[in-house]
Amino acid sequence: MFDARLRPLINPPLNAAGRALARSGISANTLTLAGLAPALAAGFAIAHQHYLAALALIALNRLIDGLDGAVARARGATDWGGYLDILADYVFYLSVPLGFAFAAPGNAIPALVLVASFTLTAVSFLAFAALAAKRGQTDSGHGRKSFLYSTGLAEGAETIAVFIAMCLWPAAFAWLCWGFAALCGLTVIQRSVRARHTFG
C-alpha cells in the first residue's frame, strides 16, 4: 500500500548508485543472485535466534534488491531478469517465517499460516500481472517493471516492516503472523475485486 508512495523518495539515490554499478560492469542478475545469500542467511540466523544479525541481513538483502532494479533500469531490463528478481523476492519472503518456525516449536503453525497467505498473495499478484500483460496494461505507480505490479494492502514495504518487528520482538511472532496473514487475505480479496472489474 505504501510502495508507490515510497518510490519518489528511494528511487533517486538507488538510481544514482545503480548507474555507477552499471558503469563498473556489474549486472542486475549478478546482484539478484548475490542477494540470495543474505536472504537465506537471515533465515538461518533467525532459526538460531540471532535476531539482530537477521535484521542486518534483511536490510542488506533489501538494499541489494533495490540496487538490482536500479542497475536493470540503467542497463536495460530483460524478461529473464524480471523472472529472476521475483523468484529471489519470494525466496526471501519465505526464508524469514521458515527461520522462525525452526527457532521455536510454538512458531510452526503461525509460520505455516503466514507462508500460506504469502502463497495466495503471490498467486493473485502473478495471475493479475499475466492477464494484464495480455491486454498490454502497465502500471507506472511502481516504476518501470518487467510486468505490472498490482497494488494491495500488503506489499513489499509492509512485509519488511513486519519482518523488522518480528526480529525486534520475536516473542510477538505469532501475533504478528496472524495479523499480517489477515492483511494478506484482505489483499487477495482486494485484487480479486479489481480483477473482476478489470477483466470481467
32-50 pLDDT per residue, tens: 999 999 999 999 999 999 9
CA distance linking residue 68 with residue 86, whole number of Å: 12
Residue-averaged pLDDT of the chain: 87
Asked which of 74-83, 94-103, 110-119 is least confident by mean pLDDT, the reply is 74-83
Indicate the pLDDT class of residue 110, thresholds 50, 70 and 90. Answer: very high
pLDDT tens, position by position, 167-177: 999 999 999 99
Q: Model-level pTM?
A: 0.86
Per-domain residue ranges for the chain? 3-199
Instruction: List Cα–Cα distances, 37 to 27, 45, 62, 86, in angstroms.
Output: 17, 12, 12, 15
Q: Identify the CA nearest to 93 among candidates 55, 53, 58.
A: 58
Please state which CATH class domain 3-199 belongs to: mainly alpha
CA distance linking residue 173 with residue 132, whole number of Å: 36
